[in-house]
Structure 1
Amino acid sequence: MSRTLRPALVAVLCCLLLVTSGCSAVTDLTGERTATPPSAADAAASYRGFDALEATVVTEVDGETETRAHVVQRPSTGETWRETLAPAERADDRVVSNRSVTWSYDASENDATRIDTSRFEAANDSYPEYLRRVFAALDRTEDSEVSVGVSPLPVVPATPTPQPPGDATVGQQTVEYAGTATVDGRETHVVRLVTEDTDGEFAVRNQTVYLDAEHFFPIRQRMAFRMDGNVTRYDVTYRNVTFDPNVSTDRFRFDPPEGTTVSETSLPESTTYDSVEALRAETNASVGDPTVPDGFSLREARYTVSTERNYTTVTRTYENETGVLSVAVRNRTDLFSGVGESENVSLGPVTGQYREFGASRSVSWTANGSYYSVSSNVVSRATLLDVARSLVRADAVERRRDYGRAYSE
């Protein structure tokens, strides 16, 4: 792998591995197979039972230490303070994020970026729910070594820069309980996830997560992925972990040093709703209702407005016991060109572009001046296209209703 590509790949995998840097001291890597998996309810409740943590985090890539950092996090709110310790050329770099602003500071260049996040309504911390699903799936099997279908564990809210919420999953995986192990002196429950389908240009091959036995925070994550035929292995470990340290709100503020060059940007304004009806009532957005598979229910509807780039997006996220299905409509067609190769597919009166990224599937198309997409990491290709076709039909019905209302007025 070229040195020029590695920094970009590290950034991508940081999002998947909740990276914020550190060093690895792990014993008993095979785990004790006689251990019994905890209950789903206990896992979720234990994660919710702490407020903050402080640690040194080490990120290794292919066995070589890439970064070490001192971090303080409040996972439930997404508040993060991160100071890079190594390598030397990045020492003293900082990322500080609270509920209204995120700062990214480059110490060697003495410049900082301020990102206004005050208008972006962040999603609730979904990690406890994913823990519940993982251990509930394990509980449905008589043998803890039997693999069952479940989405990969998502990112704990510790990503250095704010992003539109998502589940940070890369295809459907199977999960198995691998017993217990000790990580830097703390007992952990070991969960292994293996991707069922590793075709495509990018694929996560496997992931091993070490969940703190007391708080169920992932204090170590190992992952291997393949990109363009090359396999890269990541290992992220939280060391010297202290749960519920004495952390003041000032820790999540940043005052740039004198002489710092500051650039500013902002995230789009984003609001979540418990139902599509509530979104329609408050925004007057025309939203067709797709037909989703049995077992899926609406988790949230989101309305996003960007004044800088002049667009609005309506996103609906549905979920079942194993993963999510997302449907998005944006009122512009010139802001997305797709990732990777695509295949033309018939969606009735329109032609869509079908893509697979690892085991994740998506189909997108443009019509009536808008961009549409349907994506999922758990449903089949056929089911995904059926949902897309139902959205095409529902959108046509909704537009006829809008025309009728306008005509009657």
Structure 2
Amino acid sequence: MKMRFKILFVLLLVSTVLFNSGCIGEDFTADQIAEKMQKKQAGIEDMSATVHMTMTNEAGTQEMEYETLQKMPDKTKSVVVYPEEMAGQVTVSDGEKMWIYYPDANKVTIMTMPEISDDFEVDYTSIIGDLLNETDASLVGTENVDGRDTFILMLVPKDEEDSLHASDMKVWVDDETWTPLKIEMGTEDTYQITVEYRNFEINTGISDDEFEFEIPEGAEVTEIDNFDDMLPVSMTIEEARNLSDYEITTPSYLPEGYELNNVMFSNTSISADIDESVTLMYSYDDNGIIITEIFYNGEIDQNSIMLESETVSVNGEEADLYSMYDNSLMLQWKHDNAMLTLSASLDRNEIIQIAESME
């Protein structure tokens, strides 16, 4: 799990840094790049693109594509093109509220956006400085991407153990807008992630009307007034069971020494199909067992994990057993209207035994 979060974090970091950077192909100090970045940021009023994401590993390939609009400082809109089961899903924010529309279920979730202090500032200089300190960047060529001339940058981590980077990165930077049109990262034997920004345009005068949302007729509406309501709340198992509309199960078997030390409960979700979730955290010394139960109000969405899995049996039902990047195992299975996930650094037989004791 740690590796997956690193991948997403670094991908966002590099996108932010390069989107606001103003030069490539020469050696610059962090201060010089920060100065170029700030000048470029001030000149960007809006942008639009078709974002195509591909993730490939030993388990196969997953793709996602969505149309996106952004208007500075805080207006955004995205419409999913595919995968088919998500096509037409719309997320819109005018800076004060966010609307998420699920066309298949005809449901809308409305969230009030959290207030951000006027004196809140992102320290771009330190972000760029850290990035440059941890990588060796080189210009490795040029290439035409989506009809645009680009410079190809290679970013190589100096120390893979300590760096935020999980792998080398290759970035194609448009020589007109100085923004990334393509990013590749991954390792040859584990995974490959590619993000492409197609039909990319900036400062086209996008209207504020694009960031207004009209609720479809007959749609079921859920309003979340406080963003903090989205966060799980720590409580006892008894309190969670009293609040829940579902049957929360717990293991009757645990390896010796493990005890329940935290329960996180939430009955608010931006997903139209999820009613509640509960996470049980057990610990012994520095070791932990994490069990998550997600309760659905309709068809259960089998979590798609881009890893090879072994099919095992949990009380006669099929379950998926995954070997994770940090040498732990993760077991996932369905029970009634819930999806259960169990993660721990234990052997497979013991993990299955814990799962089979859930009651």
Q: Give the structure-1-normalised TM-score.
A: 0.45
Cα deviation digits, residues 146-194 of structure 1 (max 9, x gap) = xxxx327xxxxxxxxxxxxxxxxxxx73131325443212233433333
Residue 209 of structure 2 aligns to a residue whose secondary structure is helix
Choose the corresponding residue for 1:173, options 127, 134, 145: 134
Q: Given the alignment of the two structures, is residue 103 of structure 1 paired with residue 64 of structure 2, yes or no?
A: no
Cα deviation digits, residues 34-68 of structure 1 (max 9, x gap) = 94357523344234322111111111112946112
- CA–CA distance in structure 2, aligned partners of residues 78 and 187 of structure 1: 29
Contact residue 173 and residue 193 of structure 1 kept, 8 A: no
Q: Which amino acid aligns with 1:205?
A: S
Kindly report which structure 2 residues correspond to 1:113-132, keeping only aligned pairs within 5 A, or say none: 113-121=109-117, 124=121, 129=125
- Give the 3 Å change call, closer, same or farther, for CA 196–12 of structure 1 in structure 2: closer
Choose the corresponding residue for 2:172, options 210, 225, 250: 210
Contact residue 110 and residue 260 of structure 1 kept, 8 A: yes
Q: Which amino acid aligns with 1:36?
A: E
Which residue of structure 2 aligns with residue 236 of structure 1? 195
Which residue of structure 2 aligns with residue 253 of structure 1? 212
Which residue of structure 1 aligns with residue 44 of structure 2? 50
- CA–CA distance in structure 1, aligned partners of residues 6 and 89 of structure 2: 18
Q: Which amino acid aligns with 2:76?
A: T
Q: Which amino acid aligns with 2:137?
A: E
Residue 40 of structure 2 aligns to a residue whose secondary structure is helix
- CA–CA distance in structure 2, aligned partners of residues 36 and 221 of structure 1: 20
- Give the 3 Å change call, closer, same or farther, for CA 130–223 of structure 1 in structure 2: farther
Which residue of structure 2 aligns with residue 262 of structure 1? 221
Shift of 1:13: 5.4
Which residue of structure 1 aligns with residue 252 of structure 2? none
Kindly report which structure 2 residues correspond to 1:47-86, keeping only aligned pairs within 5 A, or say none: 47-62=41-56, 64=61, 66-74=63-71, 76-86=72-82
**Aligned length, in residue pairs:** 226
Which residue of structure 2 aligns with residue 161 of structure 1? none
Shift of 1:119: 2.8
Which residue of structure 2 aligns with residue 404 of structure 1? none
Contact residue 46 and residue 215 of structure 1 kept, 8 A: no
- CA–CA distance in structure 2, aligned partners of residues 72 and 12 of structure 1: 26
Kindly report which structure 2 residues correspond to 1:8-407, keeping only aligned pairs within 5 A, or say none: 16-18=10-12, 35-36=25-26, 40=33, 41-62=35-56, 64=61, 66-74=63-71, 76-121=72-117, 124=121, 129=125, 133=128, 150-151=130-131, 173-179=134-140, 180-199=142-161, 204-224=166-186, 231-265=190-224, 266-268=226-228
Shift of 1:17: 3.2
Residue 167 of structure 2 aligns to a residue whose secondary structure is strand
Contact residue 47 and residue 216 of structure 1 kept, 8 A: no
Q: Which runs of 4+ in 1 moved over 4 A?
A: 11-16, 120-127, 306-310, 333-344
- CA–CA distance in structure 2, aligned partners of residues 44 and 89 of structure 1: 40
Shift of 1:199: 4.8
- CA–CA distance in structure 1, aligned partners of residues 25 and 228 of structure 2: 47
Deviates more, 1:36-45 or 1:87-96: 36-45
Shift of 1:87: 2.3
- Give the 3 Å change call, closer, same or farther, for CA 89–249 of structure 1 in structure 2: same
- Give the 3 Å change call, closer, same or farther, for CA 341–58 of structure 1 in structure 2: farther
Which residue of structure 1 aligns with residue 309 of structure 2? none
What runs of 5+ residues in structure 2 fail to find an aligned partner? Answer: 14-23, 235-261, 265-278, 288-324, 327-359
Shift of 1:211: 3.0
- CA–CA distance in structure 2, aligned partners of residues 309 and 253 of structure 1: 32
Which residue of structure 2 aligns with residue 322 of structure 1? none
Cα deviation digits, residues 342-372 of structure 1 (max 9, x gap) = 969xxxxxxxxxxxx99xxxxxxxxxxxxxx
Contact residue 58 and residue 65 of structure 1 kept, 8 A: no
- CA–CA distance in structure 2, aligned partners of residues 61 and 256 of structure 1: 33
Residue 108 of structure 2 aligns to a residue whose secondary structure is strand
Q: What's the Cα RMSD here?
A: 4.5
- Give the 3 Å change call, closer, same or farther, for CA 98–216 of structure 1 in structure 2: farther
What runs of 5+ residues in structure 1 fail to find an aligned partner? Answer: 20-33, 135-149, 153-171, 270-305, 311-332, 345-356, 359-409
Contact residue 51 and residue 198 of structure 2 kept, 8 A: yes
Contact residue 138 and residue 155 of structure 2 kept, 8 A: no
Contact residue 78 and residue 92 of structure 2 kept, 8 A: yes
- Give the 3 Å change call, closer, same or farther, for CA 307–184 of structure 1 in structure 2: closer
Contact residue 49 and residue 215 of structure 1 kept, 8 A: no
Cα deviation digits, residues 87-107 of structure 1 (max 9, x gap) = 222211111123212222222
- CA–CA distance in structure 2, aligned partners of residues 50 and 77 of structure 1: 10
Q: Give the structure-2-normalised TM-score.
A: 0.50
- Give the 3 Å change call, closer, same or farther, for CA 309–87 of structure 1 in structure 2: closer
Contact residue 174 and residue 195 of structure 1 kept, 8 A: yes
